[in-house]
Amino acid sequence: MSVELNIRYYNSTYKDMVKKIFFALLLGIFGVIFFAQYDTWTHKKIIILLQKIAQNYLGSNFLCTIESINFFYPSLILNDVEMRSVDSDAWVWRCKKCEITCSWIQLLCKGSMDQYVIINEFECTSRVDNFYLAIESHFMSMMQKSLLPFSVELKSIIFKNSHFYAYDEAYNSEISLFFNSSSLRIGHQIKTMMSIVDGQIKYNKENYIENITTDVSFSIEYIDDKLNVESQVAGAFVLSHMANQGGCYITGGWKSDRGRFSVRNAYSSLVIDPIIITERELRINAHFPLPYVARCCMNSITDQAVDGTMQCSVKICRGAECTVDGQIVIEDVKFNNYHMCDAGKIIFGRHNNEWKMRLALTRYNQEYTGVGYWDEHTKKGEFIVKNITEIYSHALSQWRVKPHKFFAHFIAEQGSITSNYETIITNTLSDEQRCLKGNFSFAHNLFIAQGLLDQSQFFVDMTILPQFVVNQCSYKDKEEKQLIMIQSMNDNQHILGSISFPFIRSLINDVLHYDIQAEGSIDVDMQYCQKKIFADITLHDATIRLPQTYNFVDGCNVHCVYDMVNGLAVLENLAISLHTGNVNCLRATASFDKYGSLVFAHAPIILDHCLLNIKQDLFAIISGNLLFSKVPSSSSRVVGNIIIDKAQLKENLFSGVIQNQLLSYTHSVFSFPHVSLQCDLGIETESPICVDTGFLQTNAQVNLRIQKDTQDPSVVGSVILNSGILKFPYKPLYISKGVITFFPGQLFDPTIELVARNKIKKYDVILQVEGSLLTHHIALDATPLLSEEQIVGLLLVGAEENSLNSMMPALIVQNLKSFIFSNNQSSFFDKYFKPLLGSFNINLVPSFTDQTGRGGLRGALEIAVDDRWHAIIQKNFSLTEDTKFELEFFLSDDITLRAIRDERRDLGGEVEMRWKF
């Protein structure tokens, strides 16, 4: 009995001991596990394990630090995680913190754990090769292999404050996206919601798309080992080169192996709809403005010189051959507001690595066609262009290219381009023809062209990149005479050249139909340094006749500096010597934009005793200073003062025709075609202008100011006549007052005041002109009182009585207006007055008045001995005894003595005295 009790006691004690040992062991294991969670050695071993898994299965190098580990409720928190490609720097991703949680129960029940991942401040960088992300294979491996040493299934992954960056070195492009996303596995699908909060796409380090804010939802599922993706996209972004119309919206979706997307801006000026992607093909239809294309090509957001619209449609088959079919249509294309074409169409296609294309271009009913091809394997292509209809240009309106008279053949091979061309230009007025033919080549940044213009030879050799350099340029006429010679020196930065004026003269004559009438040559010494051009320009044995004047240029020197980067040109020490006079400018500055348009200018000019003339009517020596200026957002402007040192006018100063000629001459000197030029010019005389015509002799003092626009000037000021005479046949009238006044708005209708008077016989004769050039009044007055016909008779022949009757004086009075304001007084004087004059001062005065009672024709012969002695003989030709004699002596202006023998032969005398009260 006691034995049994002892056995039972020992068994009970053994069991208690085993339980205690097991509990202690279990407690020890849990204790070890608990304390191992915080042990650095354990952390290092886990990191080494993760690194091996990353290197063996994920092809990457792994770095991290462990913040915490929980073995009981499986979780792992990693800090400063970095995963980098083993082979190269193709990709790398890192994050500040990564939390991974799992469940032991799921491992015991399912044989794998559900894994939940939260990633904070994720950054990923990947290279793009052939339009594929280098990190793509790594991500696919991550989906299939976990960093944990047992089977896991990714249940969810969350990215917070993440950044993705990819770059393509071949195309020099990059994409950057800032996003947050959440992915959840549901069954065999992984559904993801991504919110892109910002992003941009760059090319050549410049933004093309920016401010990307888009919501993307997509689901990924493997069906029969085939990846199936469905997604929806809705968001907005900004096209950087669309200026204020750059805001665009994108919508679309992808399902299985096909998708459809649409992009448009708020103004519908840019529409890319639809974008259809299927397993077989890619189709795109687009409509957008050409300025956007130009800004993208020039990589500039400023306004471009090109204008118009473009439509394109492309179809790409996604097979092994990758065939391409499409067309591009451009409409209403302008360049710097110059109309380039109404419509252009290029149809292209690719098959078996060979591209074929057709071109059709229309401009003002002018048509061009072209065909071409390109072989991707041989890197060789050809393109042929010719005209179908007649070609002309408004700048060369008289020259036309007849149909099929223009031909160009381009060949591209191994990075070089060669071309043969030929065209015949016909003058529509003279049927003269010019033939231009030759060839050019472009390879390794070297451009070489040679050919014939009729029988003249030209040759051009220049380097395009990295900097533009003219190595050699020559042009010879049919007699092998050198007209142009430009030669680069050994360092390619020093160029010497000479351009003959016969070439310049023929060029201007052909283009502008104007004969510049110049001889000699222009010598150029140019240097290129640090993207600046320095040039000294000199006229060599040159004579250049100035338009509309007998003066000519016989010398010129100037030093030029042009900054190619900033588009800034500076002229220093400009000295132009004329046959009579000099023109100087110490420093002139001009700034141009990238299209060659003038933005800023400042050019002070000094004139020194320069001869100007208008045909043979006006000859003047002028001096003065002018300032030509231009500021941004404003028209060009010329201000200054012109001093007329001395001048002679051989036409009537009161003539409207002469005034128009003077103003049109000023317009031609200071205005440029199709350019708005504001002006503020003061014109005054140092010495009075000498006016000498057949009727008017005077000296004129000028003080005018020309303002506003040279196309429509406003003239203010006056022309004052300092004494002078109006030369009538019998006696002149002396000018006591003469003023021509210009007011704003009355350019061709100035106010005129003219007073001329003289003592003729016993009469004080006064001529007055008042009013304006177009509406004026002419008054003739005499003391003692005479009619206008009698005054005209007195001015013409010195007869104040009705000896001329009313017919001829009335004729003269009617033409007096035209006479005073005529622009050709010499001809008028010769026609109307000169026949009344003779070599001697003896005037025959016919009278057609009715001599009732005495009958017959009466006549008078007036003899002027001098200013004081006059004799008159009156005779009735029907009665021989009817003769009257008068002899007058002007004792003074107010006393006249007269002796008379009448028809009855009676003698008498008179004394005439005049008093003024």
Q: What is the DSSP string of 530-562?
A: TTEEEEEEEEEEEEEEPTTSS-EEEEEEEEEEE
Is the predicted pLDDT of residue 464 greater than 80, yes or no? no
User: Predicted confidence band at 811 (pLDDT cuts at 50, 70, 90)?
Assistant: very low
Q: How does pLDDT run across 345-378, given as a tens digit for each residue?
A: 999 988 888 889 998 888 888 888 999 988 888 8
Position 255, amino acid? K
Rounded to whole angstroms, the Cα distance separating 758 from 760 reads 6
b/e per residue 767-787 (b: at least 16 CB within 10 A): bebeeebeebebebebeeebe
**Mean pLDDT computed over 193-212:** 87
Residue/partner pairs of 510-518 with CB below 8 Å, 24 or more apart: 510/399, 511/395, 511/396, 513/398, 514/547, 516/544, 516/545, 517/544, 517/545, 518/542, 518/543, 518/544, 518/545
Buried b (16+ CB within 10 A) or exposed e, 247-283: ebebebebeeeebbbebbbeeeebbbbebbbeeebeb
Check: CB of residue 809 under 8 Å from CB of residue 636: no
Instruction: Examine the pLDDT at 853 and tell me if it is beyond 50.
Output: no
Terminal alpha carbon distance of the chain: 189
The arithmetic mean of pLDDT across residues 701-724, rounded, is: 84
**pLDDT band for position 873 (50/70/90)?**
low
**Is residue 759 pLDDT above 90, yes or no?**
no
What is the distance of C-alpha 543 from the center of its chain?
A: 33
Cβ neighbour number for residue 674 with a 10 Å cutoff: 6
Name the band, by pLDDT with cuts 50, 70 and 90, for residue 425: confident
Query: For residue 605, is pLDDT > 90?
Result: yes
Q: What is the pLDDT of residue 850?
A: 44
Closest CA to 652 of 622, 599, 691, 625: 691
Most confident of 311-320, 622-631, 748-757: 622-631
Structure tokens at 303: 């306004």
Round to whole Å and give the CA distance between 700 and 735.
12
Average pLDDT, the chain: 78
Per-residue confidence at 395, pLDDT binned at 50, 70, 90? low
Report the pLDDT averaged over residues 377-384: 87
What pLDDT, on a 0 to 100 scale, did the predictor assign at position 626? 92
Preceding peptide of 274 cis, ω within 30°: yes
What the block records as the tokens of 545 is 């006749």
Q: Is this structure's pTM higher than 0.85?
A: no
DSSP string, 410-450: EEEETTEEEEEEEEEEEETTT--EEEEEEEEEEETTEEEEE
Which pLDDT does position 587 carry in this prediction? 93
- Predicted confidence (pLDDT) per residue in 122-146, tens digit: 999 988 887 778 887 777 776 665 5
Q: How far apart are CA 434 and CA 426, in angstroms?
A: 6
Mark 687-697 as b/e (b = at least 16 C-beta within 10 Å).
ebbbbebbbbb
Higher-confidence position of 614 and 451: 451
Tokens 């020259």 map to which residue?
399
The larger pLDDT score, comparing residue 438 to residue 490, is at 438
Strand partners, 91: 126
Q: Can you give the pLDDT at residue 20? A: 65
The answer to whether the beta carbons of residues 842 and 860 sit under 8 Å apart is no
pLDDT category of residue 828 using cuts at 50, 70 and 90: very low
Higher pLDDT, 863 or 834: 863
Q: Please provide residue 86's backbone torsions phi and psi, each rounded to the nearest 5 degrees.
A: -75, -45
Pick the residue with more confidence: 339 or 150?
339
Quick one: average pLDDT of 8-26?
Answer: 64
Q: Would you call the peptide bond into 846 cis, given omega within 30 degrees of 0 as the criterion?
A: no
Q: 559 pLDDT exceeds 90?
A: yes
Q: pLDDT category, 831, cuts 50, 70, 90? A: very low
pLDDT the model gives residue 760: 82
- The residues, any chain, with a CB within 8 Å of residue 181's CB and separated by 6 or more, are 158, 159, 162, 192, 193, 194, 195
Confidence (pLDDT) at 90? 84
- Within 10 angstroms of residue 715's Cβ, the number of other Cβ atoms is 23
- Residue range 55-65: mean pLDDT, rounded: 81
CB burial string 497-528: b at 16+ within 10 A, e below: bbbbbebbbbeeeeeeeeebebebbbbbebeb
Q: What does 139-180 look like in DSSP terms, one character per residue? A: HHHHHH--SSSS-EEEEEEEEEEEEEEEEETTTTEEEEEEEE
Query: What confidence tens digit (pLDDT) does each residue in 673-703 have?
Result: 445 688 888 989 988 888 887 778 888 888 9
Greater pLDDT, 396 or 65: 65
Read off the tokens for 873.
């003989």
Q: Between these two residues, 466 and 58, which has the higher pLDDT value?
A: 58
What average pLDDT does the segment 164-180 reach? 88
Q: Residue 504 pLDDT > 50, yes or no?
A: yes
Contact predicate 891/869, CB 8 Å: no
Task: Provide, rounded to the nearest whole percent, the portion of the chain with pLDDT above 70.
Answer: 73
Diameter of the chain by CA atoms?
217
- What whole-number distance in Å separates Cα of residue 391 and Cα of residue 400? 6
Residue 592 pLDDT > 50, yes or no?
Answer: yes
CA distances from 390 to 359, 403, 437, 808 (A): 17, 5, 18, 64
Q: What is the pLDDT of residue 839?
A: 35
Please report which confidence band the pLDDT of residue 560 belongs to, taking 50, 70 and 90 as the band edges: very high
pLDDT tier at 640, thresholds 50, 70, 90: very high
Query: Is 902's pLDDT higher than 70?
Result: no
Residue 624, pLDDT score: 92
Other CB atoms within 10 A of residue 133 CB: 18
User: Mapping DSSP to helix (H, G, I), strand (E, B) and coil, where does residue 390 land?
Assistant: coil
Percent of the chain residues past pLDDT 90, beyond the cut? 9
Lowest mean pLDDT among 389-403, 509-523, 544-558, 746-760: 509-523
For residue 911, the model assigns a pLDDT of 62
Q: Give the range among 271-280, 499-508, 782-791 with minimum mean pLDDT.
A: 499-508
Q: Are 95 and 53 in contact (CB under 8 A)?
A: no
Indicate the residue type of 371: V
Q: In this model, does residue 106 exceed pLDDT 60?
A: yes
Q: How many CB atoms lie within 10 A of CB 302?
A: 11
Place of tokens 């020194």: 608
In whole angstroms, what is the distance from residue 278 CA to residue 256 CA? 9
pLDDT the model gives residue 773:
76
Least confident of 145-154, 501-510, 852-861: 852-861
Residue 439 near residue 420, CB atoms below 8 Å: yes
Write the pLDDT tens digit of every residue in 216-264: 888 887 666 666 778 899 999 888 888 787 888 999 988 877 889 998 8
Judged against a pLDDT cut of 80, whether residue 799 lies above it is answered with: no
How confident is the model at residue 553, as a pLDDT?
Answer: 85
Burial of 173 (0-12, 13-18, 19+ CB in 10 A): middle
| H or E element, residue 730 | none
